[in-house]
Structure 1
Amino acid sequence: LTPALDAKYTLCTELAVGGFGKVYMGLRKGTDAQVIIKFVQGNDDVEKDRIHDPVLGWLPREAYFMLRLSNVSGVVHLMDMDYLPEKGHVMVMELAGTEWRWMDPRKKQLRVARDLMGLIKQYGRLEHRHAHYIFRSIIDTVYRLHARGVHHGDLKCLNVLVNDRFEVKICDFGATTEKGQPGPSYFAGTRIFSPPEVLLNARKDSELLESWSLGVILYTMYHGVAPY
């Protein structure tokens, strides 16, 4: 961590590694409140896909949009950020969602996640009242994003964090775009949740395209598995 972040947070367990960088569990010093710490190092595509902020300079796409959406209800909150020359930007985010647990039949080991897919894996297909409440919350948040001219770009069960009161927060803005502005220079979505127009590289109205992704999420909640 940078000296400024190290004074406020403790880096703990590694949670995930990918082309974007690394994600860790962290603790806020003084309160021991859990946070998520993400090192956005990324591959060459991610490095080239930064967006310029007039105050902060060039930022990773995800950080740029999380800052812009910081006061939008239903979006994971970016608490802190700094830059390490050798590791890229470091983002500190709130820890949202409840730990959902299930046994992976193929690997025969216990899996843990805080997202909607984890909830579905633990309980199977959801009851109508729970699915309706969660989906309405997702729709409300997506509507608020669209009202600001922002399209998430990668709506899927893994990017919807859910707690034990079925409250929802949307995360992962690495594929997000502004209306009328170019999107990522590479495919940044998830194929199983993406509409044919995206897979065929024939993007049109992003708001309509996200309706497809929302439909796949709804199907998955009611059936316990994705439609294809």
Structure 2
Amino acid sequence: KSPSSVHASHRDEFFTKLHYAQVKEPFYRQYVCGPLLGSGGFGSVFSGQRLSDGLEVAIKQVSNDRVGTWTRLVNEVDPVPMEILLLQRLTEFGGHRGVVRLLDWFRVKGRGFLLVLERPPHSQDLFDFITERGALPERLARRFLGQIVDTLLFVHAHGVLHRDIKDENVVVDTRTLDVKIIDFGSGALLKETPYSDFDGTRVYSPPEWILSGSYRAEPLTVWSLGVLLFDMVCGDVPFDSDEDIVRALPDFPARLSSGCRSLLRWCLCFEPQLRPSLQEILSHPWMGGGQEEEEEEQMSNTGDF
């Protein structure tokens, strides 16, 4: 091609993209916003509906002053919240059943950003699920943990670190007992070197963050999973204060199986380098059941479970 034709091609491509950006229908012509579902440091989440087909969605509003990290997207002039980039990465190529899907996003004058997210039917966050039912049977906690770890392997494989794994950021389909991870607002791009910033939940943070303000990706994630597993099988998190976190000696109820206690101690090991990898969690004997199932049955028969 001649230089002039190449320039013309680039110009046409630029104006095509510019035209698309200009003609994209505004949010209020594509969706209707319903009642507030919840709010917190991350922003506010509303129920919503897509007008074209009636699809039920969740609409997350994030004000500019609540954005922890900004980044840039291809074809976008202005920066956007890191959460959008992370969710786009995880939604590409079909996504994963365990990650909430980003359907669309909008920059809205005076409102910051609106993220249109998948809203699974019959869903309840794991915090409310545990609050209503109390400590979960080990079989059910094992089922949830296995799904969460499998999802996090996908998340990490796509270069994303969630950084706020906790019961409030896991939603359960109460019919199928399938779970999804939500809220990547504290997330970051995955890297091998240590992180020196953390916007996650304090009682889920590891000792190395409390003591030195630094942590690595997988040991952080595994510690948070240990806290989450304890929360599921005991009905509450193991540590209430920084002193408890640094001590790293959770108090186990007698009714817990030896296998469950073993996995918890491994995940909640003070030394980050001694914690398991995500794959090693899945390979732990407790994740396969077996002897621990028999212990549960025995405790159940004696009325202790």
- TM-score over 0.5 (shorter chain): yes
Give the gaps of 5 or more residues in structure 1: 100-113
Per-residue CA deviation, residues 156-203 of structure 1 (Å, 9 max, x unaligned), is 111011112111110111111223389998641001111122233532
- Cα distance in 1 between the residues matched to 2:230 and 2:68: 35
- Cα distance in 1 between the residues matched to 2:214 and 2:121: 32
Q: Could you tell which deviates more after superposition, 31-40 or 154-163?
A: 31-40
Runs of 4+ in structure 1 off by over 4 angstroms are 181-186
Q: Is the 8 A contact 1:125 1:224 kept in 2?
A: yes
Amino acid paired to 1:62: E
Per-residue CA deviation, residues 5-61 of structure 1 (Å, 9 max, x unaligned), is 222211110223334432211112244332111111142xx4462111222341112
The answer to whether the aligner puts 1:15 opposite 2:15 as a matched pair is no
Amino acid paired to 2:38: A
Aligned to 2:223, what secondary structure does the other structure show?
helix
Richer in helix (by share): 2
Aligned-residue offset at 1:226: 1.2
Give the structure 2 partner of residue 50 of structure 1: 70
Give the structure 1 partner of residue 262 of structure 2: none
Aligned to 1:54, what secondary structure does the other structure show?
coil
Which structure: larger Rg?
2
- Specify which of 77, 81, 106 is matched with residue 82 of structure 1: 106
The answer to whether the aligner puts 1:211 opposite 2:234 as a matched pair is no
Aligned-residue offset at 1:140: 0.1
Matched residues, number: 211
Give the structure 2 partner of residue 131 of structure 1: 141
- For residues 1-228 of structure 1, the aligned pairs below 5 Å read 4-43=26-65, 46-47=66-67, 49-57=69-77, 58-70=79-91, 71-73=94-96, 74-96=98-120, 98-99=122-123, 114-164=124-174, 165-180=176-191, 187-228=198-239
Q: Is the 8 A contact 1:151 1:179 kept in 2?
A: yes
Richer in strand (by share): 1
Tell me the percent identity: 34
Q: Which has the higher contact order (CA 8 A, sep 6+)?
A: 1
Aligned-residue offset at 1:145: 1.4
